Amino acid sequence: MSETWKAWEGRTVGGKFPLRSYVGGSDHSALFVTLLPGGASDSEKAAIKLMPADPANAEDQLLRWKAIGDLTHPNLIRIFSTGRCELDGTQLLYVVMEYAEENLSQILPERALTPEEAQGMLPPILRALQCVHDKGYVHGHIRPSNILAIGDQVKLSSDTLCVPGERRRSAATTRAYDPPEAATGAISTATDVWQLGMTLIEVLTQHLPVWDRARPGVPEMPDAISEPFREITRHCLQVDPRQRWAVAEISDWLEGKGRKTTSVQPERLASGALIAGESKATKKWPYLLGLTAVAVVALFFIARPKPSSPPPEAQSTETQQNAAAEKSQTGGDEKPANTKTAATDHQSAVAQQVMPQVSPGARRTIQGTIKVRVRVEVDAAGNVTEAKLESAGPSQYFSRLALEAARGWKFSPAQSGESGARVWKLQFAYTRAKTAASAVRVKR
């Protein structure tokens, strides 16, 4: 099924959601970038997840997504629309959600979070999880790939919520983050607490704790885990689910209630958004030196130098399992320059130039110049018919912005006697001050 997903790129779902670009998928689901109805710019982007419709539970799944869509919390990914569709004879379900830029699992291959960063990340996740539990749901998929960033907000995925006691998996599909009782297939709020403890250890050490599921006992606590996280994870990773802390108890301990030392809360972001309350300032981010306010995890999500291998996709748990693609979203500190021409020897051939829209937070992370080269094919009318990355540079965020902008370029029509597609190489150079672009015709 995974090979079929990408072939549907460019199709339309439900008569109103275009599958603009394929993000990643598995045999069970796929994620695409789409536009909300009436949207024509990056600000109306959304993520759409497709999954095969199982006749036995398709209606239940749609009803659940609809109910989840009624949940409103600033730290939960919003669900906009759900429905059925058919593509090439395959019956599918779809859910349209907020489009998140990146997820926490993409940071971990590079480094662990500092205790200060973890203390900024954890409160919004706890607030979202408390909302989920208060409304009678269980998340069931707490892990770094489901801790996402939209702008300067940390959010928790929502499309996989279920009801307590629901049997969703057998022992054969038990995953690394799952608690001992997952072998029975049952899910409860205590499942989320165990998964949160496993995730917390992973984000602080880059590794899941050592634990043999086949033997009695709790996962080993790494020496690197300091307070207050050591006590939190100890109470999260109790074999007996009845002995685990509730979300409210975790929040209390993190805030210093019941212990002598008090936690340090992040200040307001430079943008004015408040992630975890007002209190003392924490250490400055190594990637955001020079800022007057301390940034929490969300700003680091947006744009940091990334490893050359593609990171996992950033939007959906089920899709995330076998995906290795990044999802996309742009902010906007500059308007598309649709009437500019490229600063090259080929100025007269460029009829319209679209510049990438870079969020202010992302631009502040740039050190030096980030260059991205895109190869485009142009038809006789001057429209770009295909765009491919030729040199991605160190960041998938900036590479993706360049690729999307390149698709909007227009060139002069083919001259008399010219046949076949024309090929151009576009270069985008990002600095903290601006974005520059140039174009060179490739001789064939």
- Please report the pLDDT score of residue 365 as a whole number: 73
Mind listing the pLDDT tens digit for each residue in 139-149? 999 999 999 99
The neighbouring-strand residues paired with 44 are none
Mind listing the pLDDT tens digit for each residue in 157-200? 999 999 987 765 444 467 899 999 988 888 899 999 999 999 99
Residue 346 has pLDDT above 80, yes or no: no
pLDDT-derived band at 367, boundaries 50, 70, 90 = confident
- Please report the pLDDT score of residue 285 as a whole number: 24
The neighbouring-strand residues paired with 97 are 47, 79
Mind listing the pLDDT tens digit for each residue in 61-100? 999 999 999 999 999 999 999 999 999 999 999 999 999 9
| Residue 164 near residue 188, CB atoms below 8 Å | yes
| Residue 194 near residue 236, CB atoms below 8 Å | yes
Give the separation between CA 138 and CA 201, rounded to whole angstroms. Answer: 21
Residue 265 has pLDDT above 70, yes or no: no
Enumerate domains of the chain plus CATH numbers. 2-100 (3.30.200.20), 102-302 (1.10.510.10), 347-442 (3.30.2420.10)
Mind listing the pLDDT tens digit for each residue in 104-140? 998 898 889 999 989 999 999 999 999 999 999 999 9
Give the separation between CA 7 and CA 27, rounded to whole angstroms. Answer: 14
pLDDT-derived band at 309, boundaries 50, 70, 90 = very low
Lowest mean pLDDT among 14-23, 261-270, 345-354: 261-270
Give the separation between CA 124 and CA 313, rounded to whole angstroms. Answer: 21
Q: Which residues contact 33 (CB under 8 A, 6 or more apart)?
A: 19, 20, 21, 23, 45, 46, 47, 48, 99, 327, 328
pLDDT > 70 in the chain, percent: 76
Q: What is the mean pLDDT of residues 324-345?
A: 37
Give the separation between CA 147 and CA 143, rounded to whole angstroms. Answer: 7
Give the separation between CA 159 and CA 95, rounded to whole angstroms. Answer: 8
